[in-house]
Amino acid sequence: MTEKDNIEQLFEQLKGKLDTQEPAIGHRERFMAKLETLPKKQSRIKKDSTWWKPLAIAASLLLLFSLALNFYNRPTTMEQQLSKISPEAVNSQYYFTSLIEEQVKTLQNERGPETDKMINDVMSQLNTLENDYKKLEQDLINGGNTKLILSAMIGNFQTRIGLLNEVIKQLEEIKSLKTQQHENSII
pLDDT in tens, 32-79: 888 888 765 555 555 556 777 887 888 888 888 888 777 776 556 666
Confidence of residue 8 (pLDDT cuts 50, 70, 90): confident
Mean pLDDT of 148-170: 90
Q: CA 95 to CA 92: how far, in whole Å? A: 5
Taking the complete model, does pTM exceed 0.75, yes or no? Answer: no
Mean pLDDT of 100-117: 86
Closest CA to 130 of 87, 93, 167: 93
Radius of gyration of the chain (CA): 41
Q: What is the pLDDT of residue 48?
A: 57
| Amino acid at position 61, single letter | L
Mean pLDDT of 118-123: 89
